[in-house]
Amino acid sequence: MKQFLQDRVAIVTGAGSGLGRAHALALARHGARVVVNDVAGSHEGSPARAVAGQIVRDGGQAIALDGDVTDPAAMQDMAASVIERWGRIDILVNNAGILRDKSFSKMSLEDFRLVMDVHLMGSVHCIKAVWETMRAQRYGRIVMTTSSSGLYGNFGQANYSAAKMALVGLMQTLALEGEKYGIRVNCLAPTAATGMTEGVLAPEALARLDPAAVSPALLALAAEDAPTRRILLAGAGSVEAAHITMTRGIFIGPREDAAQQIRARMAQIADREGELVPSTGFEQCQFELAKAGFQMALPGLA
């Protein structure tokens, strides 16, 4: 099979086990030089060292680097080490994550902040560490790990859902800002049997959710011909796409009974026929002004 990632340099966070491990192995099989990051460390016997060792034994190139994604200095140091060794960074897979599940009424603010720090700010720290390198080399592929919990909600996961949907917003804007530099940014929402899903799903369901079945979607988002601003969902051998859409809605105008009109016509407002996928957030403004009879161009990006 052709190695379509030959000599690309990829960083995978949280790659000592589960999805991260599967992603790291898959990237290496297709020719990438892989940085296996894990908070557990790169010392002898660590999960990250074991994954890197397996890649090397299989004929690939890999190193294990420790570092907590919640520590921005550690992520900067990791990126610097990768540049020193391989001279570039082509792919960043933001995979590291944790769960602290409870209903919102029982959830502590500390657990809310911790989950946000790992998933959202951890991804921000990693992207910040590689962004200028990718801009300078005019090439980059960044994959956020989002979740159907963020896209659609899940009972007992307010913290996780908030963090995962925030990553979608981060993707949307970074894809716009990175486009002229050859940086493509996407999201992957996996369904897989990992330490984070153990005890949540039935054993017979977990048996079908091999993390390796998600990695082909990751490879597509990391490839040279990757799309940008795409949200892929993957699990058990299936792949889907999610979209943030806007309905055609209605025009009411400045009238005294505007609120009553909205209440009465909610079904019409929510009608999805002909719905749109805006290319920027500003298109809402443009679309609404157009319905009001005013045309304006979209502003350029600085």
Q: List pLDDT tens digits, range 214-238.
A: 999 999 999 999 999 999 999 999 9
What's the pLDDT at 199?
66
Tell me the C-alpha distance between 291 and 287, whole Å: 6
Q: Which of 139, 152, 160, 181 is catalytic?
A: 160
For residues 29 and 54, is the Cβ–Cβ distance under 8 A? no
Q: What is the mean pLDDT of residues 26-43?
A: 91
Pairing mode of beta strands 91-94, 61-66: unpaired
Nearest CA among 244, 225, 105, 101 for reference residue 171: 244
pLDDT over 60 (residue 198): yes
What's the pLDDT at 1?
54
Percentage of the chain modeled with pLDDT above 90: 86
What's the pLDDT at 298?
63
What's the pLDDT at 128?
98
* 160 a catalytic residue: yes
Q: Convert the pLDDT of each residue in 240-278 to its tens digit.
A: 999 999 999 999 999 999 999 999 999 999 999 999 999
What's the pLDDT at 194?
67
What's the pLDDT at 117?
98
pLDDT band at 42 (very low <50, low <70, confident <90, very high): low
Q: What is the mean pLDDT of residues 270-294?
A: 93
What's the pLDDT at 282?
87
Count other Cβ atoms within 10 Å, centred on residue 76: 16
Q: 217-252: buried (b, 16+ CB within 10 Å) or exposed (e) per residue? A: bbbbbbbeebebbbbbbbbeeeeeebeeeeeebeeb
Q: Convert the pLDDT of each residue in 45-103 to its tens digit.
A: 799 999 999 999 999 999 999 999 999 999 999 999 999 999 999 999 999 999 999 99
Stretch (H or E) spanning 176: helix 158-178
Give the position of tokens 């859902």: 161
Percentage of the chain modeled with pLDDT above 70: 95
Q: What is the mean pLDDT of residues 156-178?
A: 98
**All residues at 6 or more sequence positions from 168 whose CB lies less than 8 Å from its CB, including other chains:** 144, 146, 150, 151, 187, 231, 244
Burial group, residue 142, by CB count within 10 angstroms (0-12, 13-18, 19+): buried
CA atoms within 13 A on the CB side of 95: 31
